[in-house]
Structures are given as C-alpha cells and as structure tokens.
C-alpha cells in the first residue's frame, strides 16, 4: 500500500510517500521560519500563501524522488484539521484535486491523530498506549485504544506547553522559534537559581496549566537588570524548562496510574508533538515511565515537529479500516481527538 501525505496545518509545508511496511520512500518539509521571524510568531495569512506557493512543487519533488506517479498511489491523505484554517484549506483542496484526477480515495486526517500514531510508524507498537501530546497548540494526555479511539485523561486549562516556551523565550529576548532557542540557552544556565512554581503539581486530576508559570517568569524578568545579561537569560531559561518538565512529570505520573488501572495490558508511554524534541523532557519522561511501569517511546526528532510522513501513515491506518472520506469534506480549524470528553474549565477551544 502506498499513500501520499500532505501537511499544511501551520508553518511547515510537507509531502511524503509512505508504505504499509512502515517505509518512508520520500519526503519534503519546508519550514516557513524565515517568513514569520520578523513578526515573532506565525502569521496565518502569510502561512497560507506560503503553502499555496510551495505545496505543488514539494509534492512533485517527493513523487520524483520515489520514482512514483499518481497512478501508483493507493490513496491520498491530507491534514483536514485542526490548524490555521487557510493552510488547512490549501492542503485539503490539493489532496482532493489529486485524488479526483487520479481516481484515488481521499483521506482527511486529524493532525493530532497523525502525532498520536507516529510511534506505530516508527516502532510498530500495539494498542493501547498512553500518549502525551505536547506541542505549540496542544497539551493533552490520552489513552490510545485504537485508530479513531481516544480517551482523554487530561488537557491544558489555559496555555499549551509549546506556546509557553515560545512566549518565555520572547520575553527573555532569545528570538524565534522560542522552544529550541530556550533549550540552547538553558544548557548554560542554573535551574536552581530562581524559585518558580510547578503548576498543578499534586492536583488529583491530570490537567495542565502554564499561564501562571509564564506570568511568574514575566515578573521575574522584570525584576532583573535590563536588558537581561546572557547569564540571567540562561538561568531564567533553565529554571523555566525545569519547572515545565517537573510539572509535566507530575501530571504524567497521575495519568499513568489511571492508565495502568483501566488498561492493564498497556505497556508504553508515548510522547509526541513539537515539544517532544526537548531533551530534558525526554529524560524526565523516561524516568517517569520506568517508575510507572511503562516504557517510553519517542519518535525521532524529525517526526516530532509537523511532517507529512505522519499524515500518510495515519492515512494508511484509516484506509486499512475502510475509513475513507468524501470529496465534500470540510476543513476544520478545531478537531478534538476525544469529542466525548467533558469540557475542562478554562480550557476553551483547546480542550
């Protein structure tokens, strides 16, 4: 089985060809960082126009590298949401056009499901498993019972972890994108110099919160001599990163206990999403998994950030089950993995 994946949900334009033997035949990922850097964050209109400008070329290059024609495909998969709606529309319409012209099935993929199933592409693990989905827009803990079957155990009630990383990096003058810049600065910092809160630690639920921590960092930075020295910025970064890792570890520990009780056959903790590339977080989660009786699986770094290989693989998983979409599928700016989960107070659309 051969599926073309298209990803355009935020600020990466990507295409990939993946087989059901878990082989990525070819892929392209074009980052828009230079387009958005002057603004300190992603500008939706700029992102959509960049997707429109580059997506056809990237698909053509991917097909050429693999030596494939559209007639060789078994299906076409494109991110149908959630994401910046302009970009999602570009990818969905491109995928529909190829599917229609080549007379192939079309698969609209939930971007979050792409992240959720990446570990099955890289490791082939069985269901169920506990998933920490941690990115710029989402921070959730889910039991993954099967394709399209997710039980949310916890979610952020305000900011996502990646969003907090970006905003703290901006406050510290570290530039954009904030997550990698903050991790680099933290490598030379003292995480114990400043006392920062560990939000939600000890709470009986599995929810996250990062707005209070972000505000505590803002007040701390304002109390320091301006502009921040390199060492002050490094110490702030290290302290913030340690606080996030410890807070997430507490939440995951609680979720792991619930997961082991409800799904005793589950043996794995999976972390996915852009923030999963953070080294300290991976190290912390490995310890949490060992203490909780779960083996940590983390995708390679290139598959943590947005990519089309995960979309193609999710398409394969859904195609196997006959979950094919009509060409009148409407792109979705919001698309929860567990639509039956009760609303978390304060979470709003991020629930």
Confirm or deny that 136 is annotated as ligand binding: yes
Q: Is 35 a known ligand-binding residue?
A: no
Residue 349 known to bind ligand: no
3-state class of 131 per DSSP?
strand
Is 290 part of any known ligand binding site?
no
Please enumerate in sequence order all residues whose Cβ is within 8 A of that of 218, keeping only pairs 6 or more positions apart, or say none: 171
Report angle CA 341, 307, 26 to the nearest 5 degrees.
140
Exposed/middle/buried for 20, CB within 10 Å: 0-12, 13-18, 19+? middle
134 is in an annotated binding site: yes
The answer on whether 179 is annotated among ligand-binding residues is yes
- The DSSP secondary structure of 252-284, one letter per residue, reads HHHHHHHHHHH-TT--EEEEESGGGG-HHHHHH
- Does 137 carry a binding-site annotation? yes
Gap between the Cα atoms of 3 and 311, Å rounded? 9
27 labelled ligand-binding: no
Burial class (CB in 10 A: 0-12, 13-18, 19+), 87: buried
Give the closest residue to 74 by CA, choosing from 157, 138, 18. 18
Answer yes or no: is 111 a known binding residue: yes
- Is position 166 annotated in a ligand binding site? yes
CA 269 to CA 292: how far, in whole Å?
Answer: 9
Determine whether the annotation assigns residue 138 to a binding site: no
289 annotated ligand binder? no
β-bridge partners, 296: 269
Query: Using CA of residue 41, residue 42, residue 44, residue 50, what is the dihedral sign?
Result: positive
Whole-number Å distance between alpha carbons of 329 and 27: 25
Residue numbering of the annotated binding site:
111, 115, 133-137, 166, 179, 183, 278, 306
Binding positions for Fe cation: 111, 115, 306
Known binding positions for substrate: 133-137, 166, 179, 183, 278
């Amino acid at each position: 089985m051969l599926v073309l994946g298209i990803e355009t949900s935020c600020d990466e334009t990507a295409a990939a060809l993946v087989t059901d033997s878990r082989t990525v035949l070819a892929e392209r990922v074009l980052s828009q960082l230079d387009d958005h850097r002057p603004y300190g964050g992603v500008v939706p209109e700029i992102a959509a126009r960049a997707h429109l400008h580059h997506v056809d070329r990237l698909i053509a290059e991917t097909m050429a590298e693999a030596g494939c024609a559209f007639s060789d495909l078994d299906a076409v998969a494109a991110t149908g949401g959630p994401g910046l709606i302009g970009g999602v529309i570009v990818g969905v319409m491109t995928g529909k056009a190829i599917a229609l012209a080549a007379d192939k099935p079309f698969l609209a993929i939930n971007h979050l499901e792409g992240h959720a199933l990446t570990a099955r592409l890289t490791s082939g693990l069985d269901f169920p498993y506990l998933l920490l989905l941690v990115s710029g827009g989402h921070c959730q803990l889910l039991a993954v019972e099967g394709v399209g079957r997710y039980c949310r155990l916890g979610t952020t009630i305000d900011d996502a972890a990646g969003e907090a990383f970006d905003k703290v990096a901006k406050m510290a003058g570290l530039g954009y994108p904030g997550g990698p810049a903050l991790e680099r600065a933290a490598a030379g910092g003292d995480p114990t110099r400043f006392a920062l809160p560990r939000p939600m630690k000890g709470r009986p639920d599995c929810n996250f919160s990062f707005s209070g921590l972000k505000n505590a960092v803002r007040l701390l930075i304002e109390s320091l001599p301006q502009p921040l020295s390199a060492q002050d910025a490094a110490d702030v970064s290290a302290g913030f990163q340690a606080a996030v890792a410890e807070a997430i570890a507490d939440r995951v520990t609680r979720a792991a206990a619930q997961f082991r009780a409800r799904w005793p056959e589950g043996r794995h903790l999976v972390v996915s999403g852009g923030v999963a590339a953070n080294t300290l977080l991976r190290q912390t989660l490995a310890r949490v998994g060992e203490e909780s009786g779960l083996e940590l699986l983390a995708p390679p770094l290139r598959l943590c950030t947005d990519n089309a290989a995960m979309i193609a693989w999710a398409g394969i998983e859904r195609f196997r089950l006959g979950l094919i979409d009509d060409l009148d599928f409407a792109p979705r700016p919001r698309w929860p993995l567990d639509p039956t989960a009760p609303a978390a107070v304060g979470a709003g659309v991020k629930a």
